[in-house]
Amino acid sequence: MKYLFSILACIMLSGSAMALNYYINTETGNDANVGTSIESPWKTTSPIVSVQLRPGDSILFAAGQKFSGMLSLINVKGSLYHPVVITRYIVNGNKEKPVLDAGDQLNAILIRNSSYVQVYGIEITGKKPYQSNGQIKQGEMRCGILVEVTKDEAFTDILIKDIVVHDVYYHVPGYKRSAAETASANGTQSYGWGIRFINNSKKGLLSNIKILQAEIFNVSHTGLKFTANAKGMKEVEVAECKIYQTGGPGLQMSGVSNGHIHHNSIDHSGSVADSRNWGRGSGMWTWSCSNILIEHNRFENANGPGDSAGVHIDYNCSDVVVQYNISANNAGGFCEILGNNYNCAYRYNISINDGYRIKGVNGAFQEGKIFWLSGYQGNNKEKVGPFNSYFYNNSIYVSAGILPRIAVSSSSNGVLIANNIFYFENDAILVQGDQKKNESDAGDIPNVVFTNNLFLRPDNWPKDISIKDTSPMVGDPGFKNKGGLVATDYVPDNEKLIRNRGVVIQPIPSDSIDLRIGLKLEKDILGNSIKGKPDMGAIELSETKK
């Protein structure tokens, strides 16, 4: 074993023996220098294009300095133990992040057809309007960081950590979006984006992506976006990030399989603070994704005339599970599961005053909804599903200033609603789904298990809806601090109604799969153990109250 370890160590050392550091310093550098020593740095990123980066090489920017232009890494191949690294180096004790400003270029960093690349410890911006260089193209993207695949090959291991991306815009200040543009599916004009991963190939693959401890704000469209054809991107982790004041969604995924989104804060998606913003967006949404776990996040203050929920599951997804999250003050609502989705779930979340939007007010073309199951799977297509939607052990508070709205499409097949606390200070009403017409919300739905939920009053659930609780409970759970924005504000005081009153969650009838990660959880949203029968709502009393 010792001999094997020695061989491995030698291989690793030999693989990095030729690695070089390339230093860039605007104050002491000169692009005619060799660039490979602190004493002889480059001044700009321009010489990088003539360098063949190898495993273990690093591009090091002087801390505390500002650099203008685009850094392009194309066909760069690091290795598992020796990635190519972009980061900073300390200058005269200065440890501040260097600033990479896109200047008059389209992106600040472009990584194309590359593997084993790491970016960390850098601030990125694109405040200067790109259109000022006279190269305006309809629908063109401007990104703080763009990671792109254009070849039918497999690329892997991209890490972006401890970075700040902000003020990325395409148009000049004062440019205004029309209401029609905001109502379009994802916008048709040019925008600034925070970080984008795009697989534009037909058969290529991008895998093992990590975005950790990033801060993204003040971009005119989406903060962090992943786009690929079906199964063209996999193994994605987004953790401990702060994304706020984005003109579009905070985080969006299309064509991603096997994702873990956890311990992030997303606030004020769909922001209209800048007229260049799209002005619409959920905190997070998925489309054509599979096996995505979304947990321990905060989604707050999503804005927009349509969608704009805390988290919504757009159509063609499977096994998207939303658990242990705080969802608060999102205009579009809390639970939104659209058509042709299979085995998706919301469980052990806390929703606070979600779904306040009123159709027809301030340009809104959809009602805000606290609970929405829709068969929509694209314009002019037949309503299909969603199939086997699980909704259990959530604590939902809606104050007297909001009218709770519910929409359930008759195309739904398989619905479980159990062990939730519906604390509605107004009785909920049934509304249309508003998804491009023909959204029917009446009629029998097969394979429904709707039982054992706690309502504040007997008439809290709409009377004219096709699905109703077959064994409801009624009463005040006694939340500690109604309207508060932390999980402990929703610790219930009424033990008689809460403790051990939940039912054990079983698969929906005719569902042979249920949730691939399992229906049973060991912990609640606070990390308390769930022992025996579950309590009602998102918080177990067994450990929070003695």
pLDDT tens string 188-216: 999 999 999 999 999 999 999 999 999 99
pLDDT at 7 over 70: no
pLDDT of residue 14: 39
**Tell me: the pLDDT tens digits for 38-57?**
999 999 999 999 999 999 99
Tens of pLDDT, residues 528-546:
999 989 999 999 997 555 4
Q: For the CA atoms of 25, 30, 35, 41, what is the dihedral angle to 10 degrees?
A: -30
Q: Is the pLDDT of residue 12 over 50?
A: no
At 332, the pLDDT band (50, 70, 90 cuts) reads very high
Q: Is the pLDDT higher at 134 or at 315? A: 315
pLDDT confidence of 291, banded at 50, 70, 90?
Answer: very high
pLDDT band at 439 (very low <50, low <70, confident <90, very high): low
Q: Percent of the chain scored above 70 by pLDDT?
A: 94
Least confident of 10-24, 201-215, 467-481: 10-24
Q: Is the pLDDT of residue 446 over 60?
A: yes
Q: Of 126-135, 323-332, 351-360, 381-390, which range is least confident?
A: 126-135
Q: Give residues with Cβ within 8 angstroms of 546, minimum separation 6.
A: none
CA atoms of 48 and 71, how far apart (whole Å): 8
For the chain, the maximum distance between any two Cα atoms, rounded to a whole number of angstroms, is 79
Confidence of residue 139 (pLDDT cuts 50, 70, 90): confident
pLDDT score for 296: 98
**In this structure, what token pair is assigned to residue 388?**
């086997």
Question: Which pLDDT band, with edges at 50, 70 and 90, does 131 fall under?
Answer: confident
pLDDT surpasses 90 at 8? no
Q: How confident is the model at residue 245 (pLDDT cuts 50, 70, 90)?
A: very high
What's the whole-number average pLDDT of the chain? 93
Tell me the average pLDDT across 311-324: 98
DSSP label at 355?
Answer: -
pLDDT in tens, 490-499: 999 999 999 9
Residues contacting 472, CB < 8 A, separation 6+: 451, 452, 453, 454, 455, 458, 461
Return the higher-pLDDT residue of 471 and 443: 471
Output the DSSP codes for 512-537. SS--TT-S--SB-TTS-B--SS--SS
Helix (H, G, I), strand (E, B) or coil at 5: helix
Query: Kind of pairing, strands 454-455 and 473-474?
Result: parallel
- Amino acid 544: pLDDT: 53
Confidence at residue 208, expressed as pLDDT on a 0 to 100 scale = 98
pLDDT in tens, 334-379: 999 999 999 999 999 999 999 999 999 999 999 999 999 999 998 8
Q: Are 523 and 529 in contact (CB under 8 A)?
A: yes
Task: Give the pLDDT confidence score for residue 514 in this predicted structure.
Answer: 92
**pTM passes above 0.75:** yes
* Confidence check: pLDDT of 437 > 70: no
Classify the phi-psi angles of 241: left when phi > 0, otherwise alpha if psi is within -120 to 50, otherwise beta: beta
Number of Cβ within a 10 Å radius of residue 230: 13
Q: 386: cis peptide before it, omega within 30°?
A: yes
Average pLDDT value for residue range 61-81:
97
CB 302 within 8 A of CB 332: yes
Domain range list for the chain: 334-546
Reduce the DSSP state of residue 543 to 3 states and report it: helix
In this prediction, what percent of the chain has a pLDDT beyond 90? 89
Residue 546: its pLDDT value, please? 44
Q: What confidence category does residue 15 fall into, taking pLDDT thresholds of 50, 70 and 90?
A: very low
Whether the per-residue pLDDT at 115 is higher than 50: the answer is yes
